[in-house]
Amino acid sequence: MVINFEPIKRMQNRRRLLQLAAASAATLWLSSCARSQPRLTSDPFALGVASGSPTADSLVLWTRLVLPGFFDSSVGLCRVMVRWELAHDDQFTRIVQSGQSMADSELAYSVHVEVAGLESDRWYFYRFMVGDFLSPIGRTRTIPKPDAAVTRLRLAYASCQKWEDGYFSAWRHMRQEGLDVVIFLGDYIYEYPGLSSKVRHPSGGWVLSLDDYRQRYALYKGDADLQAMHAACPWLVTWDDHEVQNDYAGVQAGNSGFADPSSAANFLVRRAGAYQAWYEHMPVRASILTQGLAGLTSGAEMRIYNRLQYGQLASLYLLDGRQYKDPQVCNKRGASGSSKVKPTTCAQWRDPQRSLLGRQQEGWLLDEFSRTRSRETHWNLLGQQTLFGQRDLKVGPDQTFWNDGWDGYPAARRRLTDSLRQHQVANPVVLGGDMHENWVGHVKADYADPGSASVGVEFCGTSITSRSGGNAKTAERLAENPHFVFADAMRKGYGVVEITSTQLSTTLRVVDDVTRQDSQIETLARFVVEAGRPVVEQT
């Protein structure tokens, strides 16, 4: 009898990663591997530092070591001890907490330190140490307690930073914005080989395996401007499709016509590797990985959606629009991925069972909406991947929509807007990315009726670098979709949102030339929303 040991090996590997993730977060050591301290001749902190997942009394501190033989599996170092310090000052004369954690080869020598017992609503400084090497100093903060009276929140939202399409100079300018937090809405890396680049070339070809994803993250993380922004304040992060594969939906592979050499039959294995690499490179809690490792290769979740309560001022909902998504329907020639679709020719278009967020996440979100009155929250911000409002791409009576975003899931969008109205959610604001264009407008109760009530407002942001099609059709698309008040399909950058109890203002910041490292920044447009009035006005 021949025994297949592969399921046993996979179970053992998952169990091992569960132990490693938990031990790293708790700054413990496992005994199955001898402690090794390499003699370093180069800086192990070449990928920088980051922080995130803030609460009123805790934070996650992150780094990933670059060791000799970084991409050589024969290097032989099992784990490396990393010391860390958290202080009130950047000179580290007033240490708040310190400890040691492990960077293990099985998690790409990444470190996720979960520091608890901190004061709420205050700034801290942190750093890591290996041997005689010190990391860059990071600056981070806890958030206010849920019942705290907060006068101001200043955040930026950004997405889509394709390496080969330009330089990350937008991050350099963002450091001057005086932010409390950054919300990153997906497409942190791109899985393409980048053969058509006109600016800079990513190393490697198609990103398919766990090691491929690790190397692509290391390339992006090596950018000095991105590193500096990570070190400036805590980040809240979610993903979109390119962290795995273009236009994938849930457990279905994507592609949309791109010559990706991967096999659809192996997609869940690829997705599991991509999800693990994302965890290894993001300042997120170990529970995200440990919940998912029960069976990522068979479709189990790695939950990243959550709600953050910023005092009484704002609730921040961070959503996952990829992992649980029903496949797109009515694609041309039956291909997987996305497509332009005429809803009149697609019987599945209005199927009420289809969901972009998945039934469990959608149910969680609607349940959260039902509790908003008890929280006395002034603003409710939804950070999700893409354009929320309906956008008809065809001028005239016939309609054409892109089926990968909310336009491909109109029943799910209607359930969300109905819930916002039913529960009278205070001041809803939807933030999005993915489009590589800036779109600003009103969230409507019924997009088929131009006169229907506005439920909230929307700011869908441009990309950090990723290309777009330009403004040739922008004016006619604005006219075709009058619930939008502004659009620009050319400039690259980010949005800055400042919130008080009475007003939300959003400033669209754009670089002048993404192909230049010394690109300057300017304001493209500025908008104001008054509390209690779901109307966005350009100032």
Name the CA radius of gyration of the chain, rounded. 23
- pLDDT surpasses 60 at 4: no
pLDDT tens digit string along 410-456?
A: 999 999 999 999 999 999 999 999 999 999 999 999 998 989 999 99
- How many angstroms from the chain centroid is the CA of residue 457? 21
Supply the pTM of this predicted model.
Answer: 0.93
Location of structure tokens 């209690």: 532
* Mean pLDDT over each residue of the chain, to the nearest integer: 90
- SS3 label, residue 213: helix
Average pLDDT over residues 345-374: 93
pLDDT of residue 299: 63
Alpha-carbon gap, residue 271 to 250, rounded angstroms:
10
Q: What is the architecture, at CATH level 2, of domain 143-538?
A: 4-Layer Sandwich (3.60)
For the segment(s) 1-142, the CATH number from 2.60.40.380, 3.40.50.300, 1.20.120.1200, 3.50.40.10 is 2.60.40.380
* Burial call 251-286: b when 16+ CB within 10 Å, e when fewer: ebbbbbbeebebeeeebbbbbbbbbbbbbbbbbbbb
Find the largest Cα–Cα distance for the chain: 76
DSSP 60: E
Q: How far apart are CA 54 and CA 140, in angstroms?
A: 9
Does residue 127 surpass a pLDDT of 50? yes
Task: State what percent of residues in the chain have pLDDT above 70.
Answer: 88
Q: Which of 427, 409, 390 is nearest to 531 (CA)?
A: 427
Per-residue model confidence as pLDDT tens digits over 468-486: 999 999 999 999 999 999 9
Confidence bin at 11 (pLDDT 50/70/90): very low
Instruction: Starting at the earlier edge strand, list the strands of the sheet with 379-383.
Output: 306-310, 314-318, 379-383, 428-432, 454-460, 438-444, 484-488
End-to-end CA distance of the chain: 76
| SS3 call for 107 | helix
Confidence of residue 377 (pLDDT cuts 50, 70, 90): confident
Provide the b/e sequence for 144-154 (b: ≥16 CB within 10 Å): bbbeeebeebb
CB atoms within 10 A of CB 239: 24
Mean pLDDT on 499-514: 98
- If you count DSSP H runs as helices and E runs as strands, how many of each does the chain have, helices first? 10, 24
Q: What percent of the chain has pLDDT over 90?
A: 78
* Domain range list for the chain: 1-142, 143-538
Confidence band for 88, pLDDT divided at 50, 70 and 90? very high
Average the pLDDT over 149-161 and give the result: 98
| 57-71, 95-109, 371-385 — most confident range | 95-109
Sequence letter at residue 389: G
What band does 291 get if pLDDT is binned at 50, 70 and 90?
A: low
pLDDT digits (tens, 9 = 90+) for 29-54: 343 444 556 678 889 999 999 999 99
Q: Say yes or no to pLDDT of 232 above 60.
A: yes
pLDDT at 94: 98
The arithmetic mean of pLDDT across residues 200-220, rounded, is: 92
In this predicted structure, what is the pLDDT of residue 450? 84
Residue 71 has pLDDT above 80, yes or no: no
- Is the confidence at residue 356, as pLDDT, over 70? yes
| pLDDT above 70 for 188 | yes
Name the helix (H) or strand (E) containing 99.
strand 95-104
Cβ(126)–Cβ(140) below 8 Å? yes
- CA 147/CA 349 separation, integer angstroms: 43
Q: Can you tell me the distance from the alpha carbon of 385 to that of 402, in angstroms, rounded to the nearest whole number?
A: 14
- Per residue in 240-272, pLDDT (tens digit) is 999 999 999 999 999 867 778 887 778 999 999
Lowest mean pLDDT across 158-167, 199-208, 513-522: 199-208
